[in-house]
Chains A and B, each alone.
Chain A
Amino acid sequence: MAENRSLVSIESLSREKILSLIHRAEEFEKNPNSKILDGKIVATLFFEPSTRTRLSFETAANRLGAKVIGFADPKITSGTKGETLKDTIMMVQNYADVIVMRHYLEGAALYASEVANVPIINAGDGANQHPTQTMLDLYSIYKTQGTLDNLNVFLVGDLKYGRTVHSLIMALRHFNPTFHFIAPKELAMPDEYKTYCKEHGITYVEHEDFNEDIIAEADILYMTRVQRERFTDLMEYERVKDVYILKASMLSKARENMKILHPLPRVNEIAYDVDDVKHAYYFQQAQNGLYAREAIICDVLNL
């Protein structure tokens, strides 16, 4: 059997692989439209709705000349009739050259990649992995800083449940980052990831405060949402909910090159007055997802 080129988890990507995907994304940004995937069919199977991610993938496939099949709403699929994931994958692989899938169960993409004979791209499996989000984060960091090496990356908000920040730590382990973890106690970075940092020689600093002096050292300020439902103690939520909101007034000491990222959607964790500041980058970040996904689709197809 040929090598399975699926992209299931960010951990499996080497430094070289990450950089080659970034360079590929740069090329696509210069020329987003091509016919590389002419005659190919990309299946997008969304067992859990995610309009943002699906549109990004489908745009990427369309811009590369592929045709797209699939479903956006799991209610209309036979999964609801009791069909197993394996059966759905076995059926779709008869039609498509690559399967992009989002699933509410953890490990679903890995399992699909084991049973399929076409590559699988994981577009999110529950709370587990979302590697294309991480690739677009990395591409955004690279584009704005000119490098991924030796950066001060500040992660803010829900660091306990935030899948994107965990994946970012793993991906950046190849690039000698310094992390600053800024979170309320209840949503602090889990020990598991702090141990991971120690094992990989990554320096990190923890803060509970979030203010302009702390931000001053940042190259990247990666914001995430502090969600009410994550708190067991609602008093604690009330106490911290406004502490981790970024306002334009907090950016007076920020480095010239500093950029603010956010996986979106945001609720109130970035005040609207930040949108017009030169450091704001979250909307371009989302656009970068298109180029990163074009690069990933081509890579798993070995094109």
Chain B
Amino acid sequence: MNQELMVAAIENGTVIDHIPCNKLFEVISLLGLQAMTSTVMIGYNLASGKMGSKSLIKISDRFFSDEELNRLAVVAPNVNLSIIRNFEVVEKRQVEMPSPIVGVVKCANPKCITNNEPMRTRFDVSEKKEGVIRCHYCGREQLVDTVKLV
């Protein structure tokens, strides 16, 4: 049986698959799903051949902009996105790490201006060091795997 059918199919909307289970709640929060009025189905600890276990989210009647979806790259760079229309997958895509990353990640430096002023954070993705992002304001570097979200 198709694994995805453990969570009901949607007619129109967005499916986000292969979310690492420990990142599910961050993905929910990044997309603001808690404030959504349309139907949202969340599968948690589903069996996955590739990942062992995974999570999956189906969101009815909501299509996200590239900018919204690329924010996911910070916490879950390997998710699969499917756009559904009339129960059919009309588009599949991967998320891409945005650079700069604006308004998503919290700076790890408590003395950074961004932690003390009502403003959006901004990080540049390091070209030289893989997985490292650098605060545009204070210069503090951190690993993208261990970031806290704003």
Q: Which residues of A contact B (CB under 8 A)?
A: 84-86, 103-108, 110-111, 125-128
A153 to B116, CA, bound (A): 37
Residues of B within 8 A of A104 (CB): 111
Least CB distance, A123 to chain B, in whole angstroms: 15
Given contacts A128-B138, A128-B139, contact A107 B113 (CB under 8 A): yes
Q: Is the CB of A111 within 8 A of B111?
A: no
Q: Nearest 3 A-B pairs (CB), nearest first?
A: A107-B137, A106-B138, A107-B138
Interface string of B120-150 (1 = CB under 8 A from A): 0000000000000001111110000000000
A128 to B135, CA, bound (A): 12
A110 to B137, CA, bound (A): 6
Q: Is the CB of B136 within 8 A of A105?
A: no
Least CB distance, A30 to chain B, in whole angstroms: 37
* B137 contact from A84, A86, A106, A127, Cβ within 8 A: A106
* B111 contact from A84, A85, A86, A127, Cβ within 8 A: A127
Q: Is the CB of B117 within 8 A of A106?
A: no
Q: Is the CB of A106 within 8 A of B118?
A: no
Q: Is the CB of B119 within 8 A of A126?
A: no
A108 to B113, CA, bound (A): 5
Q: Is the CB of A84 within 8 A of B138?
A: no
Residues of A within 8 A of B138 (CB): 106-107, 126, 128
Least CB distance, B72 to chain A, in whole angstroms: 26
A238 to B40, CA, bound (A): 63
Given contacts A104-B111, A105-B112, A127-B111, contact A110 B117 (CB under 8 A): no
Q: Is the CB of A111 within 8 A of B113?
A: yes
Residues of B within 8 A of A86 (CB): 117, 119
Number of B residues whose C-beta is below 8 Å from A? 15
Q: Which residues of B contact A (CB under 8 A)?
A: 109, 111-114, 116-119, 135-140
Least CB distance, B143 to chain A, in whole angstroms: 15
A106 to B139, CA, bound (A): 9
A42 to B138, CA, bound (A): 25
Q: Is the CB of B109 within 8 A of A111?
A: no
* B117 contact from A84, A125, A126, Cβ within 8 A: A84
- Nearest chain A residue, comparing its CB with the CB of B137: A107
Residues of A within 8 A of B135 (CB): 107
Q: Is the CB of A106 within 8 A of B113?
A: yes
Q: Is the CB of B117 within 8 A of A111?
A: yes
A85 to B138, CA, bound (A): 15
Least CB distance, B78 to chain A, in whole angstroms: 29
Residues of B within 8 A of A84 (CB): 117-118
User: Which of A105, A125, A127, A128 has most B Cβ within 10 Å?
Assistant: A105
A125 to B117, CA, bound (A): 14
CB<8 Å pairs between A and B, sample of 16 = A84-B117, A86-B119, A103-B113, A105-B113, A105-B117, A106-B113, A107-B114, A107-B136, A107-B139, A110-B113, A110-B137, A111-B114, A111-B137, A125-B113, A127-B111, A128-B139
Least CB distance, A31 to chain B, in whole angstroms: 38
Q: Is the CB of A85 within 8 A of B137?
A: no
Identify 5 new A-B residue pairs, CB closer than 8 A, beyond the known A106-B139, A107-B136, A127-B111.
A85-B117, A104-B111, A106-B111, A107-B138, A111-B117
